[in-house]
Structure 1
């Protein structure tokens, strides 16, 4: 074929058209489907979302570390020292004197309240809390004015016991059948509203015969103490109260006839701390008897049916034999061997006998030296949870 100018121009024009067709043709997916405008927009938005998410992750604040577990009271290896005075949170004069003599801030205050006349009073609990002490309520189902009247007559001790223990309105069966339920609910709601822990030592020294809630008095029957305790506990639980430390506290055994504490124990589901009350210098313990001689038989018996932490809920010493300071010194030495005892409450009252540590400089010095040990150096912030198991 002879090339002419027109033919050359036609070939060039055709080549340009062929190249242009490839330049403007739409792209296809790997499956051969063409990406239309909506597909390309979706891909662009997806890419933008991934980029935005990556930026958000890169700029987000670091995750908060897990909250530490609440500290237990008392901490492991520690024990608290508490105090009970005649006027309790109504007047802190005696507490101030005790603190100065002991050179130690007590971490718990025990005070009593009788069902016959005492209504819930938030102020009393807040006053104790405000001084850095855990409130422990000694809650007593009786009319304590009967006891006060008998004492004013200066009757013999056993005669007073017989009079005050005979109060039919406060029989254990009356508690269980609900006679006091409205009263109990008012206290449950009040304690619930506090928002910080409160220990309740309900119907203490139940193994004696000097209170109307003892099964040995007031026409009470075997088994009724546990039923009454559980009734009170269950009422609080039904009211949604979760800030109570339930303290079960018999009297220290004073003879071989005062055993069978297991029959008076409500059970671990109903108790947080177990306790014991005992004094040197009165009754069966008038002659010198060490802390272990007074308390160990009771502790040994309690350990046959529960391993709950133990508190000496009341103790004191008289100086009738001139050995009060010696007894205190020896008590702190023995306490160090009882790892299951997480607290001790001193009865700082001049009643019948002078149990106070301020009774003499020698006694105060012995007590101050004992509580200066590292084991008792602990504070009570309300945010702490009670130690309810020794293994905690």
Structure 2
């Protein structure tokens, strides 16, 4: 006989009725209290007919980082996660715990090191990797020799081994896969800012130098992104980060953009106190043109991935205060990372009590009351 659900149910009901007839009913007749009253038999029958459904409490919605209407504040130092002393100084001066830490790694001599990411995460900060396809030692050597900045640019940007076309054709795939597997194993989000300021002429991955050609940057970016995707890496926030445009002498940004399906956050680098902005230029003057240009081809969230102010004209603290007054007018900017380094200029907020006080005053606003956690989901759409 073929077993079917109706037949199984009828058989079970029959067993229950026989149990009642031979055990419960005689006890009742004998004047004894029945051990299993009829209503329990009925309930047992109903239990057979009705499948049990396990009750599960609903899971809480994941935290979005940063929440809508908020913006995070991050920091970058010259020591990175190798020495947190500058981060501690920044935190004390700002009276504020940064939520993101940006640090740079070149491709020439840096195998994946999990401890760098864990140390940042353990301090309550999202690690943002500035991933730079070059031999950074050339830059370091030029600075030791105290060469002028433009002289250093000329030397370091000519590195044929790291041409964009070489990245796109797979010359570095073994290196990329080792990092992809390492980042995948972390189990928490990591932001990757690959080949930043590609619209300049000072890095070997800029399209205008090192034998690169138009379109090569997008091909290289997509190759790196797709390799991570094919390796099953799902915990990366991809950050495409250009230098701000101050006039038409620098390349337009749209041809360098790999597309919204390849990018989560759009970054911008802009400083007050050097180069085109040696004279006083407000935050709005430095960033507005670039924001407008970006919005013509993407609506992805914006992050100021590098900024700082020097004591040009003695107006550093003034610029910091003005910047924080202006930022709420840019609701699409979901984060700002301060360059806490004494390099070409002293960009640090710890450079003076006035700069520290101005920064502390700015980040005390409720808009920056944000906490990062390793299980937070990055906000990848404006307003969500």
**Both proteins in one fold, TM over 0.5:** yes
User: Which segment is superposed worse, 163-172 or 47-56?
Assistant: 47-56
Using the TM superposition, give the Cα deviation of residue 283 of structure 1 relative to its aligned residue in structure 2, in angstroms: 0.3
Q: Which moved more, 1:290-299 or 1:155-164?
A: 155-164
Alignment of 1:102-251 (within 5 A): 102-251=94-243
When Rg is computed on C-alpha atoms for both structures, the one with the higher figure is 1
Aligned to 1:356: 348
TM-score, reference length from structure 1: 0.87
Identify unmatched segments of 5+ residues in structure 2: 1-10, 21-39
Counterpart-to-counterpart distance in 1, 2:45 and 2:117: 53
- C-alpha separation between the residues in 2 aligned to 1:313 and 1:249? 7
**Aligned counterparts of 1:275 and 1:351: Cα–Cα separation in 2:** 21
Give the 3-state SS of the residue equivalent to 1:325 in structure 2.
helix
- Deviation of 1:137 after TM superposition, in Å, equals 0.1
Residue 155 (structure 1) shift = 1.9
TM-aligned CA distance change 1:226 to 1:45, over 3 Å: farther
Contact 2:280 2:312 in 1 (8 A): no
Hey, which bits of structure 1, 4+ residues long, moved more than 3 A? 38-43, 45-50, 53-58
Residue equivalent to 2:44 = 52
Please tell me the root mean square deviation across aligned C-alpha atoms, in Å.
2.1
Q: SS where residue 337 of structure 2 aligns?
A: strand
Cα separation, 1, equivalents of 2:208 and 2:379: 33
Distance 1:185 1:91 in 2: 27
Offset of residue 50 of structure 1: 5.1
Matches within 5 A, 1:84-99: 84-99=76-91
Q: After superposition, what is the alpha-carbon deviation per residue over 1:177-222, rounded to whole angstroms, capped at 9, x for unaligned?
A: 1000000000000000000000000000000000000000000000
Alpha-carbon spacing, 1:76–1:168, altered in 2? closer, same or farther (3 Å): same
* Distance in 1 between residues matched to 2:113 and 2:360, nearest whole Å: 33
The question of 1:336 aligning with 2:309 is answered: no
The counterpart of 2:358, out of the listed 357, 366, 378, is 366
1:312 match: 304
Where structure 1 has 5 or more consecutive residues not aligned to the other structure, the ranges are 1-37
TM-score, normalization: structure 2? 0.88
Structure 2 vs 1, CA of residues 40 and 145 (structure 1 numbering), >3 Å: closer, same or farther? closer
Per-residue CA deviation, residues 251-283 of structure 1 (Å, 9 max, x unaligned), is: 011222224200000000000000100100000
